[in-house]
Amino acid sequence: MPNRSLQNHPFLAACRREAVRYTPVWLMRQAGRYMEDYRALRAQYGFLELCKKPDLAAEITVTPVERLKVDAAIIFADILLILEPMGVGLEYSKGDGPVIHRPVRNGKDLDDLKDFDPNKELSFVYEAVKKTRAALDDRVPLIGFAGAPFTLASYLIEGAGSRNYTHAKKLYYTAPEVWHCLLQRLSQLITKYLNCQIAAGAQAVQLFDSWAGCLTPGDYEHFVLPYTRSVIAGITPGVPVISFSTGTAGLLKHIRAAGGDVIGLDWRINLDEGWATVGHDVAVQGNLDPVALFAPPKEIRRRVADVLDRAGNRPGHIFNLGHGVLPETPVDHVIAMVEAVHELSAR
């Protein structure tokens, strides 16, 4: 059963499209390189090492909540952690981002992937969730997360970041049976992984489909939607699911069809237009441009007001950026944004 603590908190109430006393706000990459505390830890530890140390992961998760006064924490982890136990040679190389040394390009590569139990192999994440919940002491809810099937499959196939996703698309064009087997396998693992985070104490979960914007609507509907829908349908009942993607203004109806209590909107579509597209029977999250946080505080406040005006006081809006906080972002500007959201949205 989901943990019922903080069920009336504005963040969780907004996920259920209930009236709240102010618009809740949190940020993707809330704990990251824009914060001095995090940079100090990264100078001492590798990224994977930090993820696998629950005490430090909890500390990294809680620090920005205290500093920024946001309305939710998100566990410090990475979407690719679930791929490492498959034996694909995951490495976080300095300056180049994550690399997979043994990518999946055909049926044999798929067969070579190791089976594993997410409950055991990723136990450090659940321990971090437990420690974070204890440290938060029910001040704000904790969000768990995972990569969506398409984005994880694309990383597995491409082996690193990509501009055109040639290998991933080529696989579903030329070997659809391999693609479908891979996506089915990933969707089952993701569902178990998220439910383990919930069992450990996560009070909401976000599914990151960060690369879905490269897809045509038809390809999303045929090759992706069934698996995203399967993950969302398998989440522990009563726990809000946020479906996040970026660059997907042309896919919003399909993303809505895949499910989720909250649909993430990026800055490439006005929030009122995006909400009308997905339907007002679902909550939305977003959608300030992350680069807007480099503007002077007065301009940040004006842009926050514009997003809030477009939400129109309709129940079910969670304020966020359209993607993660950029590393060079001034912390004081982030704080100014959070304060503006709370002040301007007060009912």
- Find out whether 283 and 318 touch, Cβ atoms under 8 Å: yes
Out of 34, 38, 126, 155, which one is annotated catalytic?
Answer: 155
301 is catalytic: no
Q: Which two tokens stand for residue 305?
A: 């007001």
For the four alpha carbons of 24, 29, 32 and 33, in that order, the dihedral sign comes to negative
Out of 29, 105, 133, 301, which one is annotated catalytic?
Answer: 29
155 is catalytic: yes
Predicted confidence band at 93 (pLDDT cuts at 50, 70, 90)? confident
**What whole-number distance in Å separates Cα of residue 268 and Cα of residue 275?**
13
φ, ψ of residue 99 in degrees (nearest 5): -130, 140
Out of 17, 71, 78, 209, which one is annotated catalytic?
Answer: 78
**What whole-number distance in Å separates Cα of residue 72 and Cα of residue 202?**
11
Q: Which two tokens stand for residue 40?
A: 């100090």
Residues 6+ apart with CB under 8 A from 226: none
pLDDT digits (tens, 9 = 90+) for 201-224: 999 999 999 999 999 999 999 999
Out of 16, 33, 303, 310, which one is annotated catalytic?
Answer: 33
29 is catalytic: yes
**What whole-number distance in Å separates Cα of residue 156 and Cα of residue 151?**
9
pLDDT digits (tens, 9 = 90+) for 61-92: 999 999 999 999 999 999 999 999 999 999 98
pLDDT digits (tens, 9 = 90+) for 115-173: 999 999 999 999 999 999 999 999 999 999 999 999 999 999 999 989 899 999 999 99
Predicted confidence band at 5 (pLDDT cuts at 50, 70, 90)? low
φ, ψ of residue 24 in degrees (nearest 5): -70, 150
39 is catalytic: no
Percent of the chain at pLDDT > 70 equals 98
Out of 42, 185, 268, 303, which one is annotated catalytic?
Answer: 42
Q: Which two tokens stand for residue 82?
A: 């679930």
According to CATH, the topology of domain 10-345 is TIM Barrel (3.20.20)
78 is catalytic: yes
So where are the chain's domains? Answer: 10-345
Q: Is the peptide bond before 3 cis (omega within 30 degrees of 0)?
A: no
**What whole-number distance in Å separates Cα of residue 99 and Cα of residue 298?**
40
